[in-house]
Structure 1
Amino acid sequence: MKNLKQKTFTFLFFLLLHCFTLALCLRGDSEILVRVKNARLDDPNGSLNDWVSNGESNSCNWTGVTCDSQNHSIISIDLSGLAIYGGFPYDFCRIRTLQNLSLGNSFFNGTLSSQPLSLCSHLRLLNLTLNYFAGEVPEFSPDFTELEVLDLSANNFTGNIPVSFGRFQALRVLSLSNNLLSGSIPSFLCNLSELTSFDLAYNPFKPGPLPPEIGNLTKLEILFLAGSHLVGHIPDSIGKLVALKNLDLSSNSLSGEIPSSIGGLKRVEQLELYDNQLSGGLPESIGNLSSLLRIDVSQNILTGKLPEKIAAMPLDSLNLNDNFFEGEVPEVLASNAYLQQLKLFNNSFSGRLPENLGNNSDLLEFDVSTNNFNGELPKYLCERKKLQILIAFNNRFSGSLPESYGECDSLNYVRIKNNQLSGEVPDGFWSLSQLSFLEMQDNRLEGSVSPSISRARGLTTILISGNEFTGGIPANICELHNLSVIDVSGNHFSGELPTCITGLKKLLNLRMQDNSFSGEIPSSVDSWTELNELNLSRNRFFGTIPPGLGDLPVLKYLDLSGNSLTGEIPAEITKLKLNLFNVSNNKLYGKVPLGFDSELYLSSLLGNPGLCSPYLKPLPRCSSPRPRHNTWYLAVVLTLCVVLLLGSLFWFFKPKYLAFGRKPKRAWKVVSFQRVGLIEEDILLSLKEDNLIGAGGTGRVYKVKLTTGEIVAVKRLWGDTQNPDSKVVFKSEVESLGRIRHRNVLRLLSSCSGDDRRILVFEYMENGSLGDVLHGEKGGGLLDWPRRFTIALGAAQGLAYLHHDCSPAIVHRDVKSNNILLDEEWMPRVADFGLAKTLKRDVGEGPGAMSRVAGSCGYIAPEIALSPPAEGSDNGIGCCGDLDQLIDPRMDPSSSNYEEIEKVLDVALLCTSAFPINRPSMRKVVELLKDNKLSSKIILQ
């Protein structure tokens, strides 16, 4: 009995001692947490306000802290997404029971050092993704024997992958993607036999092969090496990855054939090999991958036919676009019950598509454009009422549009141009409620536009030119308030133009040429503030030209030729800065207005017998009233005689004057891209200091008034004019810029090149540059928030045009406030293309032609320059937590603007992301700026 009491006492003593020890340890760990928080972390949102050591609170209940359920020791710290600032908190690792440390999606920064990092060798998980750590990836000590997850992705790490990374024998997940790592992908990473996820994507590695030892990672489920500068062949050992579910080798420079060993990936669900240089055909062995759901081998140089075994697979996405596949699509594809995306565009497929395609599947996206398909479009594409995208342009499809398409309420994007489709469009097709983009031009479609089109309230673009449509344009079209482009040209439309069409405020382009429209042109056009192009040529319009057209702020193309218009040309039209003007072949009369009384406009005036001009031939001279007094007549004659005499004397003595006082006239080559009354001598005489309005790295800019009264900006370029290469580059770049037509890009009117100088003539911008307005004597107070937003959106639209709509595309490479010019209405123009580069492969240019640094410091991409513009921060933008500190006080924004300002700032942060893959395209930027439903933190999918 005595022994039992003694044993019980001993047990209770040690139990109390253990509990006391645990309490002391837990209290000590709590002190560590509080000390790190106060000394190392910045918590602007107060997310860690409950981290207070007062003897009563339990740290296991603190934000981000997780404890063991039995002994209550701290095992995990997770501060992900809490917007915490600071350096790496090494002292957290003094908590010996800590297993997991997650700091992802915050604002941690600075470098990692090997020695203090050794404190964390007992960790099993270290997650630092989506932060701002920089410098080289540190070596990890051999003590990291328990580490299972290491995620350093989406930071600014540089240098090589350390050799120590090959010693993580317990590592299951390794993610280093979206950094600035160099060197090549080391083979020693293939020693990590426990890896299930291997992610090195989107790093600027040195071009090199995928190590053949990759086949050693037999437990691998995810292999993500997109954008890693891989070259050479895909190794045969890839087939040994029997556990692999996702293989992504896209956006590299892999070549050769897809190895047949890929058929060994029995569990693979997603196969991404797009955007490489792979050749040959799809191996038959892919048909053995019974778990495969998505395959994308687009943008390669693959050839051959689509194997029937692949067409029979349970795929939900098949993407073969931009290759050289040929032959017919196997019928068995139509039996696929899982197919959601079918993309076969830009190949050489022929024959008919399977008739039952879509009948057995939930098809969402269908794109077979630019092939040689014929026959009818499959009528069951929208059988499940889920089809959203229908793209079939540039084929030889015939027959009528299936009636079932008129019941496809899910459809929002249609492009079926350039086929041989005929018959009437189903009535319901015009009124699809989700439809936003409709492109059906260059077919043989007939019938009329249904009044039910008013139900398609989201429609922005109607392109139905080059068909055989008849009837009138229904007034119901005026209910589509989002319309921006209407092109009904080249049909058999008739009747009057609905006057309500002038109420479409978002209209950019209205093309109705080559029809039989009649009646008068609507005179009240005040709402067309966005209209850039108006083409009503070759119709039967009569009446006068509305003077109000001259007040449209951005109209650049006006073609009213080939009608029966009468009256005089309104003088108001001369206020427009037109790239194209044509009123020929009408019944106009009267004197040609002064702004059009030039040889440049002669062809645009012919065919109007009643027009007259005192200068232009063959137009008749305008008759003048008979003089009342002979003295007046004599005075005029004498004046003319004196002028002729003085002129003769001048030309007689001019050669001698040139011989003694001036250089002889040099040969000039003039290229005009717009219609301006340009005389080279006038330009040269105006290049003087009194007219200087600016100077930069590429030349000096002068304000010049032409003899026509128009004011232009003339830029005299620096540089070696005798260098043959320089001449070729100048010619190429000028021709590219001369073709640009966009309201937010500065127009190049003309170029002059001679032996000793090169000159560019641009439209003149009355309000100078955005940089001058914001930082110069004018002061930013002239720009309130709505005006600044308009400038930002306009500049984005101009750049989007250069990137996506020019052919070839143009990259500016020096976008800054000084290169955004403002016209009289404060509308922006992207300007100064001295550093611009067209995205085409010129002779003698290698793939690195764009790699050289170009642009002003602070405005170039970090990965192109030697170092980022703002080292260790979000380009200097993301360091401030208070929006008020970023807002220009001269703007005096109202409280209603704050949300919009914050949304625009979100877009700016995306554009200045340290990782190119996270930066949106300019087309996406325009969408984000226009979107009124931007979230407070935008995440691009």
Structure 2
Amino acid sequence: MAGRPMKIWFKRISALLCLSLVWAPSAAVTDPNDARVMVKLQQTWGSVLTTWTGNDPCGDKWVGTLCDANTNQVIYMTLINLGLEGEIPPEIGSLPALSNLDLSFNDKLKGSIPSELGNLQNLKLLSLQQCSLTGFIPASLGQLVNLTYLALNGNKLTGPIPSALGALSKLKWFDVAYNRLSGSLPVSSNNAAKLGLDTWPVIQHYHLNNNEFSGSIPPELGGATECLHLLLEYNQFTGTIPDTLGNMKSLQILSLHYNQLSGPIPQSLNKIVSNGTAYLGLHQMRVNNNMLTGVVPVLDALDSLEFVDFSNNTFDPQPFPSWLNASANTIQTILVEFSNLIGPLPSDILSYPSLQGLYAKNNQLNGTLNIPSTLGRRLRVVSLENNKLDQLTFATNANLPNISLNGNPTCSGTGLVTAGPLLCGTVVPPATLWNSPLVASSTCPVCDDPLLTSNPYTCRCSKPLIVSLEIRAFTAPTINDTDLWEKMRNQTYSSKNITTFFKIDQIWVRDASINNEKKVLVRIYFFPLIGETIDEVTETIIKVAFTQQLVSYTSPFKPEMVKSIINSGAISSHGSHGFPKAAIIGIAVGAGGLLVLIAFLVFVAVKLKRRAEEERKKNPFADWEKAQDGDAPKLKGARWFTFDDIKMMTNNFNEDNVLGEGGYGKVYKAIEAGTGATFAVKRAQEGSKQGALEFKNEIELLSRVHHNNLVGLVGFCYQKGEQMLVYEYMPNGTLTQNLRGSKADWPLDWDRRLLIALGAARGLAYLHDNADPPIIHRDVKSCNILLDKKMNAKVADFGMSLLVPDEKDEKTRKVKGTMGYLDPEYYLTSHLSTKSDVYSFGVVLLELFTGKAPISHGTHIVKTVRNLWDSAGIAGVRRTLDPILDGTSMDELEKFVRIALVCTEDTALERPSMHEVVMQLETLVGPKAHIMPGSDNSIASKASKSDTRIPLPMSNMMSDDFEPASGQFSQAFSHGSSSSHQSAFRYSGGFGPSPVQPK
């Protein structure tokens, strides 16, 4: 095991060396105007940004900046949590090419937001979270017509929201929470310019909570049909809840609590339903602590409801809202405290399958409480104190959760005997603090340095990066549940940008607590894999992932916001140079035992040589050297396993170890004794076995290809009439299983599907372009794309693979493949080429889009999608979209479908090469394309040392006038020279690249 960290360390160093090549400065200096502005920023913040040296930001690699390679202008500036002090200089508004500006978590950054920021016409993201900014939000920000993300939360801003911001027609994210903003919300009907919060056609997030807004909630907000979160809690809103909110068909979270709202809850909310579409429908409704009247309406159509809180209002006397039974399969928490409820509880309420908490204290509920033997398996808390329940029935075998009946008649007099002290004892207040049990039970050593923290999973002392989150609408009944936080750890690990840089045991949810507003604060520690501190690149990626909401959580952890990001190693890391302490100790010890080490190595070498000679004599291929069929297999790293070896590893081919089965045979999970290494063994069944020569050729082929997106061959067995191949083990199964099979319980989100598509494309592009000689897979399909423990895609099963054929023998090949994926031109003409793989890959892309098999109900997926595209474009194709992906950007969906359709053109000449497909997918995926595993074959890696400009995919593929069936496009794609197109960026510092479309 000692060699593994070393290999990882070398990989990390190699990656940084590769990045340094891309970051190498060109001869050209920064654009003079941008250089002048950046020098002003250097003068303002230079005492903190010690890495900003020289007067050429692009050429001198200023940390956190990204430059356009053609114009030498600054296009990205990401300076998160770097201790910036002072104000934001107004000169920053004179960077005309700037598209991303993120200065979040610099709590010493004061003063007002410069109105000059409105001059940044290319700005798409502006994030100034958790600083100490004061003053008004400048109306000039309304000039940022390309802005999609605006986050000003966690400052000290005052005054109203300017109506001029209504001009931001592309805005999707608007967060001004935790400020001191006031006044009424601007809408188009109350100002001459006809602008306001209702003139954002694609807005998805209104985060306005914890301010001092007043007046009524504008009915115009109901027109935001793409809005997911409407957070207006902790303000001073008055008036009624508008009926128009029922028109927000995409709304998932409605938070109106702690205002002064009156009148009834509108019946129109009953329209926000999922209609069977995952992730749609109203999930949370919080209207507690207002002055609402009337009765809670019947909202029985809400089929996604997880959390409701009607507590602390002035409702008329009403029975318990039994319509909640309609949501029994989804409802997790019900709060109806101080809600003037009368009558009995629904007899089956404690059997609701998803119910975790019921809070109904201080009402007038009466009658009998029935505690059945079949309680909901997730039920944790039932709070019914201070009601009029006078009878109790429960099965003696009931496994009682935390039920409190204190203050009910059944807990006085003779009723107390029936109820018992367990139900009528002193009410235990809910836990407000949870600490990881790994702290108390860990046997890890205590770290000497107070800045060092012991990783409870590896027992290594290091300085973690600490991210503190606030969960604004926590839906679980208690935080004192370790399984709950383990779920958060897993969700953190599997989210965007995190899994690329971390192993699961580097992430630790340290503790959680509840604040006065019943919001949950959580601290997540990110430990370095090697050394004491996290490297700069990884730190930046984590910061961006959290501040720009790229980490995705599900219930009960949403919506969440970042409260702080602290690097516990920042104090010492910048001033530390030279060898790490561990390395110095290692060198000292090594020098003292050098002679002993040499003697030991000689002994091991001799022993291994003898063992190899013995194995060679037993190797069945040894005799092939004399055969007319050719030399013995020339293997590169593949091991030879005996039949007994594999029999032992698979527990005598036990059926419990079967991972899958196909026409070739069965695949078994195998665990090697001693090392504990896990493999997948494919065992050929009778009738599918090859001749010795063919089997030898396949092994040679597989042992020759090595790529992060190809399943690696570990070894083989050719003994006792068996043909077995031993592969690396892929714990997350096949893409088919994850889309619609045994692993579909955790659906793949859109970003993961994009990364899977890109990973598989890179593997195929390697086979076509970099294998020597090139290889055609010939059986590309979703069940031959496997997912490793980090959900990275790897192409598998090369049983039908062929070397790129010569013209002489192309037509002599027997057509092979899988129906639904088979290239129609190859099927009709027997003419095989790499473009046959491209067609099959296009079918896989459509599977990722629809979630369906290639042939369904007698219809082929390519024909269905192409007909819909031809008749109605992306709007028509969207009808086939996997419901799980609802809410995905239409722009991204359209680009994805364009790629899929051009891959599945009828003739090979009209299809792109796999290398061109990789470039298009890298553009669609964005910055993650250059940092995900397997990126050694990415565009970035092809940049030469002398030229940091990077080839850009041909722009016409993403243009608005692209048609997959267009001969003009096909000709341009097939014959265009990608080398003549250069991308428009160069990046420097600790920030990864982001493609920029050519002008």
TM-score range, shorter chain: 0.3 to 0.5
Choose between structure 1 and 2 for higher RCO, CA contacts under 8 A separated by at least 6 residues.
2
Instruction: Please state which structure has a larger fraction of its residues in helix.
Output: 2
**Which structure has the bigger radius of gyration?**
1
